[in-house]
Chain A
Amino acid sequence: MMPVGAYLGLSAVLFGIGLIGFLGRRNIILMLVSVEIMLNAVNVSLAAFSQHMQDPRGQILALFVIAVAAAEVAVGLGLVIALSRNRPGVSVEDLTQLKW
């Protein structure tokens, strides 16, 4: 059985990769995908703590994270559709109209 620290290390690495993708990618959809990678990293550590503490509450919190991720995808991709209707392309660097 692996110690819980191994799962936390894996979770940290996955979260860092997701953060790099979210900050660096130009494509809005891939930025949202990177958010999903980060949410998965957090779910890994929640599940590992759930096993470590012998307590189902960690898994229940991970289930709620998945539910909120589904909601985030629906609204986020709706926003992308509305954006791409106004201007073609999904690059964040084209979205400068809020810049003062």
Chain B
Amino acid sequence: MTVLAAQTAFYYLAAASVTSAILAVTRRNPVHSTLWVLALFLHVAGIFLLVGAEFLAAVQVIVYAGAILVFYLFFLMLLDLPSEAAGPRFGAHWPLCTAAGLAFAALIWYAREPELVPPAQHTVAGGSSPGNLSTVGMALFTQFALPFEIASLVLLAAIVGAVVVAKRKTESL
């Protein structure tokens, strides 16, 4: 990919993701908000492709856009939407919230170093691209095998926790 194409792609993806995030936060109808978040997730997947993280982009589309967002839409449709969409979108303290969010974003914006220089020696031997699925998979199943297993334990705890929390109370128990 040429430099100009990469820059154009980045600016498009950045503008589209910021716009869809703003729309997601400000829309009145929760279903519309969730669909704008879907647009955001797909553009973030594009950004992952741009930085060479192909596997992460695939996981983003499959898990975030596929599973998590469908879960949100499913729950929104279980609940009573019309009465929710009628009230005000933001609480009475929204100017304070906006100030806090803008201040936080400005702090990170000024704390970052725009011209960071890459480190001299690369930690990956052989010089293969880190987005390479084999590189990520090799690290995930050798060096990070224990965190990988712990992540499965976290998901198991979440399954059991969700069932316990959402279970209907029964008298016989």
Chain A positions within 8 Å of B, measured between CB atoms, are: 1-21, 23-27, 29-30, 32-34, 36-37, 40, 43-44, 47-48, 50-60, 62-64, 66-75, 77-82, 84-85, 88-93
A91–B22 alpha-carbon span in the complex (Å) = 21
In the bound assembly, the distance between CA atoms of A34 and B83 in angstroms comes to: 21
Chain B contact residues: helix, strand, loop or mixed: helix
Closest partner residue, chain A, to B25 (CB atom): A21
Given contacts A15-B104, A53-B119, contact A37 B63 (CB under 8 A): no
A21 CB to closest chain B CB (Å) equals: 4
Residues of B within 8 A of A62 (CB): 53, 56
Q: Is the CB of B140 within 8 A of A90?
A: no
Q: Number of contact residues on B: which range applies?
A: 35 or more
Query: Contact at B136–A56, with CB atoms within 8 Å?
Result: yes
Whether A44 contacts B112 in the complex (CB less than 8 A), given A29-B72, A54-B130, A59-B136, comes out as no
Distance of A74 Cα from B163 Cα, bound (Å): 9
Pairwise interchain contact B44-A55, C-beta atoms closer than 8 A: no
Query: Which 6 pairs from chain A and chain B are nearest by CB?
Result: A16-B105, A5-B114, A20-B101, A71-B158, A21-B25, A23-B97
8 Å CB contact of B30 from A17, A29, A50, A93: A29
Q: Are B116 and A47 in contact (CB under 8 A)?
A: no
* In contact, A77 and B100 (Cβ under 8 angstroms): no
Q: A62: nearest residue on chain B (CB-CB)? A: B56
Q: Could you write out 10 A-B pairs with CB less than 8 Å apart? A: A5-B113, A5-B115, A14-B17, A16-B105, A40-B40, A63-B136, A66-B64, A70-B68, A81-B165, A91-B87
Contact yes or no, B47 A10, CB < 8 A:
yes
Q: How far is the CA of A21 from the CA of B90 in the complex (A)?
A: 9
